Amino acid sequence: MHHAFVIESEAEGGIATALRWVAEELGLQATGNPDVVVLRYGLFSVEDARKISELAASAPFIGDKKALVIAAGRVYHEAQNALLKVFEEPSPGTHLFLVVPTLGGLLPTLRSRVVELAGMEKSSDGESIPEIAQTFIKSTKEKRAALVKKLSTGRDEDERRTHRDEAIAIVNGIEATTYARCESRTFTPEYAALLEDIAVLRGHLYDRSAPVKMILEHLALVTPKDLV
């Protein structure tokens, strides 16, 4: 039985998937169980990764199994590197679950250490697309430019972090919308090029020094008008 998993899903749906697996495969119920730990983060930092490593190294309180479920909106690359050892060799009986909104931001080194679990089904009516992404896609070039300007600035680190998260939501939303359109229309070279760009650009957004303005300006230009 593998010990480390990743779930591509919004937080609560992914947590539910992980806990269902834990109950069915490990026989551990989450309610009132100190050996089933669920942690939620907006931004997962190196310090958070160190705390997870400490939790993973401790022995179970009851029996010989425990589970750590980590849901994060975004995981810095440095934090992913800090997780490598614990995801490769956790203490005996420990199972780890990482819930993230998209697998695109994970480093290959971390991806190689986890098995993907299917998350909850996404809505097919557009509800799974973040509102800010829908706004970006539907906007004129002028309105897209205004949104880019807003998201590429910030009064402090917290605001800049929030704007970077919104930029990631836009990238993920464009990607999801593109795939949805490809299911109902011809997969054109334009769509293929857009998806290739997204695969590269999203990785850059997970760096602290992400060039948000350049990334969103590029997407504003290459996102097809007929995507919606």
Q: How confident is the model over 117-149, as pLDDT tens digits?
A: 875 444 444 446 778 888 999 998 899 999 999
CA torsion 212→214→215→216, rounded to 10°? Answer: 80
The DSSP code for 90 is P
Q: Which two tokens stand for residue 7?
A: 């779930």
Residues 154, 80: Cα–Cα separation, whole Å: 25
**Tens digit of pLDDT at every position of the chain (228 positions):** 589 999 988 888 889 999 999 999 999 988 889 999 999 998 899 999 999 999 998 889 988 999 999 999 888 889 999 999 999 888 889 999 999 988 877 888 998 889 988 754 444 444 467 788 889 999 988 999 999 999 988 888 778 878 888 888 888 888 888 877 776 666 678 888 888 888 788 777 767 677 889 999 999 999 987 776
Q: What residue spans define the domains of the chain?
A: 4-117, 131-227
Which residues, in sequence order, are bridge partners of residue 75? 44
CATH code of domain 4-117: 3.40.50.300
Q: What is the pTM of this model?
A: 0.62
